[in-house]
A and B are shown apart, each in its own frame.
Chain A
Amino acid sequence: MASQAGPFPFPVQTRQFAAVIDDVHTEFVVMGYDNRVMVIVTQIGKLGSIIQAKQDISQDGFLKNSFSVKTLLGRRDEPLLEICARRLMELLATAGCRRPLLLTLGLKNTSAGTLKSVLELIMLRGKVW
């Protein structure tokens, strides 16, 4: 539901979608910036926790097979959130995405089942990479 103005193509690719996951209405907005992919997932109408994830680079500049995750704002008592960000970064990297990830999770339900569905939906509907 993006409203655009002007004759220029808007430079950011966005995908917006929504679903009911385990009876909870969940909104998604995925934005493909030049240097980053931002994914907003919310069930509470707010951004919630903001988590950054990236693929590690070795000293000589090669991509390693490990990822770093950092919670910038929000819950630090729910490890599943960072695991979700790490897993999403891994999925993006496997799909050929070289940009780091910024994931915001404003969830009512942080069960493993919900998080798994969240990840699947993002990969199904949110391809901006």
Chain B
Amino acid sequence: MADSALPEGVVEVAPRLKLREFTENAVDTIIHFQVLELVDQLYVWIGAGGARMESLHTAMNTKYDNLPVVATHFGDNTSDGAALAQRLSMRLGKVVSVSSSLPPGTPLMQAMAEKRLIEELTQASEDAPEEKADSVF
């Protein structure tokens, strides 16, 4: 596209935030993941069967409780997503926003999804420092 199409005072540069997209093949389900690494924050989307965004929860640590506080912005009557956000936030010490469309009442799938997520995030934390989000801003 021509640069003249860009607004004035705007210079396009290469994006540097790390967005990881991966898929977990379970016995009878396929689970898709998106993980966006931000500064002291994570956005996680989990999709089972399709690409719907059904809910959004954000969890963060406070000084008032050992358990992170979690807010549900929309969706998810069963609070599985909220619980996942809370556990991730506690484990990683970051603000974690989770959007999960895993079906309710499937503890095995939840556990598997969480396990795969932690694996990927542990691998991500071994990235070189210049690849981390803090170096971008």
Interface residues of A (CB under 8 A from B): 1-6, 8, 10-12, 14, 16-22, 25, 27-29, 31-36, 38, 40, 42-47, 50, 52, 72-73, 102, 113, 116-117, 120-121, 124-125
5 pairs of residues in contact across A and B, judged by CB atoms under 8 Å: A2-B21, A18-B15, A34-B51, A121-B7, A121-B10
Take A2-B21, A4-B21 as given contacts and tell me if A46 and B53 are in contact as well, using a CB distance cutoff of 8 Å.
no
Q: Is the CB of B16 within 8 A of A18?
A: yes
Interface residues of B in 118-137 (CB under 8 A from A): 133-134, 136-137
Q: Is the CB of A42 within 8 A of B38?
A: yes
Chain B residues within an 8 Å CB radius of A50: 56, 58, 73
Q: How far is the CA of A123 from the CA of B24 in the complex (A)?
A: 32
Known: A14-B19, A42-B17. 20 other contacts (CB 8 A): A1-B16, A1-B17, A4-B22, A5-B22, A11-B47, A12-B21, A12-B51, A18-B12, A18-B13, A18-B17, A19-B6, A19-B10, A21-B10, A25-B137, A32-B51, A33-B53, A36-B52, A45-B38, A52-B73, A120-B6
Chain B residues within an 8 Å CB radius of A16: 15, 17, 19
Q: Is the CB of B50 within 8 A of A29?
A: no
Interface residues of B in 1-19 (CB under 8 A from A): 1, 5-7, 9-19
CB distance from A105 to the nearest CB of B (A): 13
Q: How far is the CA of A28 from the CA of B15 in the complex (A)?
A: 8
A-B contact count (CB 8 A): 141
- The 7 tightest CB contacts between A and B, nearest first, are A45-B39, A11-B51, A18-B15, A72-B73, A45-B137, A33-B53, A6-B23
Q: How far is the CA of A45 from the CA of B39 in the complex (A)?
A: 5
